[in-house]
Structure 1
Amino acid sequence: MNPNPADNHLVNMALRGDTQAFGVIIKNTEKLVAGIVCRMISDPEDRKDLAQDIYLKVYKQLPNFRHQSKLSTWIAQISYNSCMDHLRKKKLLLPGEVMPEGSETFIFSKDVTLILNTAIDQLSPVYKTLITLYHQEELSYEEIGQITGLPDGTVKNYLFRARKALREYLTFHYKKEDL
């Protein structure tokens, strides 16, 4: 059973047609959804369309929410799956690969956050999402597994690989004193 009674109440209200309750659901999860979409999808127009599609799916699938996880985890899973479907459809999914350097300029400031975000953006969409969910959203391996459909061991393994790719990128592009 869902440990958050507020989630249950919001879902029940939204299912009864309360649009304000659904608005609260969106407000409570929009940062999480935006984080997933922005890390996985590079095109701004696609991001906007996907975010709208995600909440349309949430609305349509709300009767299927089983209260076995947090509502935010369930919505994050829909977000992740929608992004993966989009990447597959556009043939942009390259799991496990670091994206090649393009015309992007590297930030050589002393701002570690900008440097780190630049490095994270070089990762594959799956790795970017896992790093974001674990380190920024502070979700557990189990919650990330529920969102992505990956076993806990795979989540740990992919996070290890993502961190290793980040370390290699940073080592290659920045001198120790730059960081």
Structure 2
Amino acid sequence: MDEKQLVRQVLSGSDSAIRLLISKYERLVIHMVTRVVSNDMDREELCQDVFIKVIDKLNSFHFDSKLSTWIATIAYRMAVNFAKKKKLEQVGLEEVAFKVGEINDVTEEQDMKKFILRLVEQLPHSYKTVLSLFYLDGFSYPEIVEVTGMPEGTVKNYIHRARQKLKVIVEDHARREVALL
């Protein structure tokens, strides 16, 4: 199957074409990501994110270059952006130390983000997925539909239910914290 046929079939929603696309370019994506990101878990997650983005943005590919070049560019840029973000997170507190009044605010905000992410991890997989795509990755409903294959009503429902479950988890955690005081 040539690139144009593969792209058409992936865009039409063919699961087998998506699997073929991933298997055909998996080594390339791993190679590009490995050049920039050293942590195994981060690399694995980033490779998955690359393919989500490739599939999401495939309709904007116009065959101006080879598909492999386009995918490698996406993988490389995402890896570089990831590495920059990681580096900023690691250096962040050292840089903020010069602004003594802001240290507590930044630390509390980072702790809160970590805390919220740990709570999100307690949600069922499908809820966690749509919630993360919507809030963390900034995907629109149609994009989440495209990525997950779920109907738009289901995506909206899962996001609503995930928020409700997260609220219950937060309230339960707050009650336990108050009980410890």
Name which one, 1 or 2, has greater alpha-carbon Rg. Answer: 2
Structure with the higher helix share, 1 or 2? 2
Structure with the bigger RCO (C-alpha within 8 Å, sep 6+) is 1
Measured against the shorter chain, the TM-score band is 0.3 to 0.5
If the length of structure 2 is used for normalisation, what is the TM-score? Answer: 0.47
If the length of structure 1 is used for normalisation, what is the TM-score? Answer: 0.47
